[in-house]
Amino acid sequence: MNFTMVRRLILKDWYLQRLPIALSLLGGVAAMAVLVLGGKAGFTLGLILLVTVLVASSAISTTNLTVLERKEQTLPFVMSLPISFREYTAAKLIVILVVFLIPWSVAMGASFAVLALSPTHSQGLIPYVAIMGSEMLMSTCFIAAVGLITESQGWTITAVMIGNVAINGIGYWVAHIEGVSQYMFGPVMRWTPAAGALLFAEYASIALMLGGTFLVQSRKKDFL
Amino acid sequence: MNDVESHNDLAVHFEGVGKRYHHFALEKINLELPTGSIMGFIGPNGAGKSTTIRILMGLLHQDAGAVRVLGRNMPDEQAAAKMDIGFVSEDMRLYGAAPLRWHMEFVRSIYPRWDQPYAEELLRRFDLKPEQKIKGLSHGQRVKAALLLALARRPRLLVLDEPTTGLDPVARHEVLAELMAVLADEQRTILFSSHNTLDVEQISDQITFIDRGRIIDSDDKEIFLDRWRRLRLQLPPDGAVPKLPGVIEVGGSGRLPVLTTNRFEPAMVYACNELGATVQAVDTMTLEEIFVANVQRKRTQEEREEVTV
């Protein structure tokens, strides 16, 4: 693996995606301001805004970084460079994760800080926020995997829709699992085996999706 | 010269290469492009030119056969091989939101042999503004920009897949003129695909025809132009068309047949006269006429074979 080449490809995508990245950061900062400064009602509104920003950021950046290369016919230019498809895939996966992880880490950090430090909020929500935040990361990896493997706009949009529906469905389901729901609104944070297992399952899925994408892409025979 | 030495002199070597799709197959492609030569790769739309070129670039994996480019096995060593290849294709686009200067810096960061003074010279010759975003360029300017990015990296092999398609006559002339200038470098090898025989004729010294996924002929351009002729005959009353070796098509009508040959020799004129026909004219053929006659001959041959089977 030529890591210098991978780094150049990452910097290329970073430059080309700088506007969506800046907008997602701006949206994230605005949502956090509402979340931190808006009291109890502001916390709920800020949380909804943060989720919206993260979902939008995930959908836009992932679609831009995977499908657009083929759709706008820039893939022949990239693939004419001295790179292998493994390096191309590695660069895409890294840049997608980095672009998403920046607003995601800030949002998660701010949410945890507010829940942990503010006397008006319950710390019991922290495991639920961690599980749902990880779900969004999982959803981003899912969209990235579909986008990179299929290179089809139709399938990627379908993956975005599945990801959006899954956030609501999984959010509802997790909130009704006994090991999570029983301490959710309590004053103290409790990591139950159920919450731990959910988190583990999410990160195992993320690892599987990333590894699977890399494997499928490495075995591809036709790049154009 | 032994086998190894002769292979080292080949910039591109295809041996029995095949690629199968549902509705199209590239079959038993054998192609040799010696270092320093310029090959025109001619075929109608859908003949398999782009598929062949993508296999050459390692972007498609062949189902059968072996491909070596600049001494490297493709597709396994495609990344290393592409370090020495400049590639421009008709369907290649640059990033619309980024200026040409950014593209130049990006490509420069990858290729150690990037020639900045030459890049600046090409900017002037092509009348391109480096600060302009690609989306603001015309089609002709975009092709020139892609060509600049390929040429300034000083590649040993330049692969151009229909680069002049869709260009206006002025832009086409400028692009071809620049390619002619590049030819001054004798170590540079060029593969130029097109369905426009006029463009190919101007710059190539070797010609390969491809049709329906098969290479139907390949040779030096001058040999093609020398050996293909049309003989316009006048037959005596009740005279028959002379049967001569190397005649691939008999056209015309009645007592004024036109023979097309791909193995012309002056002796054919004497042979016609001996057989009672008067040779009124021996016409040279353009590359386009040779290409069309070649394709039709091959297709007729295939149809006959299918009927026999």
Q: What is the 3-state secondary structure (H, E, C) of chain A?
A: CCHHHHHHHHHHHHHHCHHHHHHHHHHHHHHHHHHHHCHHHHHHHHHHHHHHHHHHHHHHHHHHHHHHHHHCCCHHHHHCCCCCHHHHHHHHHHHHHHHHHHHHHHHHHHHHHHHHHCCCCCHHHHHHHHHHHHHHHHHHHHHHHHHHHHCCHHHHHHHHHHHHHHHHHHHHHHHCCHHHHHHHCCCCCCCCHHHHHHHHHHHHHHHHHHHHHHHHHHHCCECC
Is residue B95 less than 8 Å (CB to CB) from chain A? yes
Residue A22 lies in a domain: yes
Kind and range of the H or E element at B78?
A: helix B78-81
Å between B160 CA and nearest CA of chain A = 12
Residues contacting A47, CB < 8 A, separation 6+ = A35, A111
Q: pLDDT digits over B37-89, tens only?
A: 899 999 988 899 999 999 999 999 999 999 999 999 999 999 999 999 999 99
Q: What is the pLDDT of residue B185?
A: 62
Report the candidate in B41, B47, B52, B59 with the shortest Cα–Cα distance to residue B17.
B52
Q: pLDDT digits over A99-157, tens only?
A: 899 888 888 888 888 888 877 677 888 999 999 999 999 999 999 999 999 988 899 99
Is residue A78 less than 8 Å (CB to CB) from chain B? no
Q: pLDDT digits over B177-201, tens only?
A: 877 777 666 578 999 998 888 888 8
Residue A197 lies in a domain: yes
User: Considering its fold, how many domains does chain A have in total?
Assistant: 1
Burial category of B289 from C-beta neighbours within 10 Å (exposed 0-12, middle 13-18, buried 19 and up): middle
Residue A47 lies in a domain: yes
Mean pLDDT for the stretch of residues A169-190: 87
CB contact under 8 A, A72 and B106: no
Q: What is the pLDDT of residue B4?
A: 46
Q: What is the pLDDT of residue B236?
A: 86
Kind and range of the H or E element at B55?
A: helix B49-56
Report the candidate in B180, B107, B178, B167 with the shortest Cα–Cα distance to residue B137.
B167
Å between A216 CA and nearest CA of chain B = 15
Residue A224 lies in a domain: no
Residue A126 lies in a domain: yes
Is residue A219 less than 8 Å (CB to CB) from chain B? no
- Three-state DSSP at B54 gives helix
Is residue A178 less than 8 Å (CB to CB) from chain B? no
Q: Which of A72, A81, A223 sits opposite B110 (nearest CB)?
A: A81
Give me chain A's average pLDDT, please: 89
Mean pLDDT for the stretch of residues B219-238: 89
pTM over the 0.90 mark: no
Q: What is the pLDDT of residue B155?
A: 93
Mean pLDDT for the stretch of residues B24-35: 92
Interface test with A, best of B70, B106, B133 (most A CBs within 10 A): B106
CB < 8 Å to A12, chain B: 106
Is residue A77 less than 8 Å (CB to CB) from chain B? yes
Residue A186 lies in a domain: yes
Residues contacting B201, CB < 8 A, separation 6+ = B40, B221, B286, B287
Q: Residue A210: what residue type? A: L
Dihedral sign for Cα B141, B143, B149, B152, please.
negative
Contact B154, B113 (CB under 8 A): yes
Structure tokens at A126: 């922290």
pLDDT at B5 exceeding the cut of 80: no
pLDDT at B146 exceeding the cut of 60: yes
Residue A40 lies in a domain: yes
Calpha distance B218→B249 (Å, rounded): 19
Is residue A188 less than 8 Å (CB to CB) from chain B? no
Q: Residue B103: what residue type? A: H
Mean pLDDT for the stretch of residues A69-89: 90
Calpha distance B82→B286 (Å, rounded): 35
Q: What is the pLDDT of residue B7?
A: 54
Structure tokens at B156: 């040993």
Give the nearest chain B residue to A69 (CA atoms): B95
pLDDT at B207 exceeding the cut of 90: yes
Q: What is the pLDDT of residue B1?
A: 46
Q: pLDDT digits over B74-127, tens only?
A: 999 999 999 999 999 988 999 999 999 999 999 999 999 999 999 999 999 888
pLDDT at A224 exceeding the cut of 80: no
Interface test with A, best of B95, B103, B105 (most A CBs within 10 A): B95
Give residue A160's domain range: 3-219
A-to-B residue pairs, Cβ atoms closer than 8 angstroms: 65
Å between A138 CA and nearest CA of chain B = 29
Mean pLDDT for the stretch of residues A194-206: 95
Mean pLDDT for the stretch of residues A73-91: 91
Calpha distance A54→A49 (Å, rounded): 9
Give me chain B's average pLDDT, please: 88
CB contact under 8 A, B60 and A222: yes
Write down the ipTM of this complex. Answer: 0.84
User: Rg of chain A's alpha carbons, rounded to an integer?
Assistant: 19
Q: What is the pLDDT of residue A43?
A: 79
